[in-house]
Amino acid sequence: MSEDVLIASAGPLEGTMKNDSLPRQLARIATIARNAFREAVRDRVLYNLVLFVLLLTTGAIFLGELSASQETKIIVDLGLSAMLVFGAFIAIFVGVGLVYKEIERRTVYAIFAKPVGRGEFLIGKYLGLCLTLLVNVAVMGAGVSLALLYVRGGWDPLILSIWPAVLLIYIELMVLTAVALLFSSFSSPALSALLAFFTFIIGHFSADLKTFAASTGTQSAKWFFAALFYLLPNFSNYSFITPAAHGQTPTASAICAALLYAVVYVTILLSAATLIFNRRNFK
Amino acid sequence: MTNMQDQQSRNSFFRAGRQTVALSLIILLGLAGVVGLSRWMEAHRPPVDPNLEEEQLYVTGATTRRLSLSFSGLVADWYWMRSLQYVGRKLVRVEDNENLQGQKIELTENEFFNLKMLPALLDATTTLDPQFMVAYEYGAVMLPLIKKDDEAIALLKKGMAANPTSWKLAHHLGYIYWQRGDYRAASETYDAGAKLPDAPPWLAALSARMLAQGGSRQLAREMYGRIYDQSDDNQVKEMAVRHIMQIDADDERDTIRRILSEYSAHHAGRCATSWKDVYAGLRASRLKLDAATSAPLDPSETPYRLVKDGCDVDLDLQSQVPRK
C-alpha cells in the first residue's frame, strides 16, 4: 500500500487542519475551484456555447418567417430554455464526474496527502463547476441579448429584462450541481446522473406533489407526498422563462427568497455530501 | 538500410494517402446516396390520410403545461407555430388544388378548409402561455371567420381571466359580439374594457356608439381601423384591410346603383349599355375611373362590371375585394 493511499484512507488530516485559519481554508478551496474550472475548460465543456450560438443564429434568422412577428418572444423562450437544458446537462454530467474522475485517476490520493480536507475538496470542486456554469450562462445570456438586438434592429427593453430570469436559471443550476455532487459522493457516475436527472424532473413537479399531498385520501400518502415536496428541491421557484419572454421581471423579494432557498439547500446538500465522502475508504 | 527505411516510410505515406482518398470517396458517395434515396422516398411516400391530420390533440393544454417543466413558453411557441402552419398548409393545399384553379375561396368556406383543430391548438397555446396575446388576437379574428364564435368567446374570456388588466382582449371580445350582431354585449364589453388601466378613450366612445349605430358601415370601418392600428400581426392587419376594402366597395356600389337608377329614370327605364353612358355621374361622385373604359375601379383597382343588362353593378370575378 502506497503512502498516499494510507494517508487518504485515514481521512482528512484532521490534526494538521484543526487549527487552520479560515483564510487558509478559503485559499485552498479557491485553488481547487480554479483547477476544477481549468479542467472543465480543458475538457472542452464550454464548446456547447458554439452549439448554442448556432441554435440562436438559426432561430433568429428563420423564426421571423414561421412565427408571425413573434420572433422576439420565441428567441427569449428558445435562448433561455436552451440555457437551462445545456446548463442542466453540464451540471449533471460534469457534476457527477467531479469526484469520480479524481478517484478513478487516483489523483485524489495526492490531493489528500496534502493538508486538504475532504469537505474543502468537495466545496472547491463545486465552486469550480459553478464558475464554469457562470461563464456559460453569462455568455449565453449575452448571446440572447445580441440575438434580440439583431432581430429588433436596435434596442429593445427585453435585452435587459431577461437578465433576472438568467440569474434564476443560474441559481437553479447551482442547486442541481450540488444534487449531482451529493449523488456522486456515494454512487457510480451513471447512477448519479440518472438520480440527478430524476431530481431535476421531480423538482419541476413540486407543485403537483403538493396537490397530491392535499388531495390523497390516506394520511400516510399525505405525509409521504408532503415529505417529498419539502425534501426535494423546488425548481419551480426558478421557472421564470415564460414570463421573461413577455418582458416581465421577478420581484426583488422573489429573487432574494429564491437565492436564500438555494443557499440553504446547497449548504444541506454539500454538508451531506461531505458527511458521506468523509466516511469513504479509498483503499 | 536508410534507403529501405525511406522506401518503407514512402510506402506507408502513400498507403495512408490512398486510404484517406478512399474513405473520403466513400463518405461523399454515401452522402450522395443518402440524398438520392431520401428524394426517392419523398417522391414515393403515400399521401397522408387527411383524417389523421384532423385527429384531436391527445393531451390537453393543462397536461402539456404540467409536462413541459420550465419550458412551457417554448412549448407554447411550438403550438403557436403549429397553429399557423395548420392554417397555412390548408391554404396551400386549396391553392394547389387543380380543380379549384381560378376560383377565389375564402377561409369561411368550411367545405374546403375545415379548420376544426384550430380552436384546440390555440387553446393549448394559451394554456401553456396565458400571456400569449397574439394567439388570443389571432383566435379572435380567425375563429369567427370559420364560424367558431363560441370557441373564440371562450378563448378570449380565458385570456381576460388570466390577464385582467388587458383592455386589448376586451376590445377583441367586443369585436366578436359586434360581428354576431349582439350590440348590447359588445357595448358592455367595450365599457368594461374602457375602465381598465391604459385603455384608450375611443374604447368608451365605441361602447356608446355600439348601441346607437351597431350595424352601420361607419362603425364597422372604425372597428376595422382600430383593429389594424392595434395589431402586430400581419395576417390580422391584412384581414382588417380586406374588410375595410369590402365596406368601401359596398359604399361605392351604393353610389353607382344610385347613378344607374337615375340614368334609367331619365331614359324611360332603359339601363346603361356601357360605363360611358354614366360617365358624368361617376365623375361627379368622385369615383376612381379606368382611363380607357371609364369603368369605376373598386378598392383593389379592379373595374366594376355592369350586370342585369346594365341596371346593376357587381364586383369583377378578378377583384381582390372579399364578397362576404
- pLDDT tens track for A69-81: 678 888 888 889 9
Per the CB < 8 Å rule, is A246 touching B131? yes
Chain segment B266-296, per-residue pLDDT in tens: 888 888 888 888 888 888 888 888 888 888 9
pLDDT band at A64 (very low <50, low <70, confident <90, very high): low
pLDDT of residue A1 exceeding 60: no
Q: Which of A272-276, B51-55, B231-235 has the highest mean pLDDT?
A: A272-276
Residue in B295, B321, B320 with CA at minimum distance from that of residue B307: B295
ipTM: 0.70
| Residue tagged 472547491 (cell numbers) | A124
**C-alpha to C-alpha distances, A34 to A29, A87, A88, A177, nearest whole angstrom:** 9, 19, 21, 16
* Three-state DSSP state, B6: helix
Q: How far does the CA of residue B134 sit from the closest CA of chain A (Å)?
A: 8
Cell of B94: 386549396
Torsion-angle region of residue B122: left (phi > 0), alpha (psi -120 to 50) or beta? alpha
Chain segment B111-134, per-residue pLDDT in tens: 666 788 899 999 999 999 999 999
Per the CB < 8 Å rule, is B84 touching A204? no
Per the CB < 8 Å rule, is A69 touching B73? no
One-letter amino acid identity for B283? R
Looking at per-residue pLDDT, the higher value among A174 and A8 belongs to: A174
Structure confidence at residue B50 (pLDDT): 64
pLDDT band at B3 (very low <50, low <70, confident <90, very high): confident
Chain segment A30-50, per-residue pLDDT in tens: 999 999 999 888 888 878 777
Per the CB < 8 Å rule, is A241 touching B73? yes
Closest CB to B81 among A67, A81, A241: A67
Q: Which residues contact A71 (CB under 8 A, 6 or more apart)?
A: A60, A63, A64, A151
Closest CB to B80 among A70, A235, A238: A70
- In contact, B222 and B241? CB cutoff 8 Å: no
Per the CB < 8 Å rule, is A69 touching B71? no
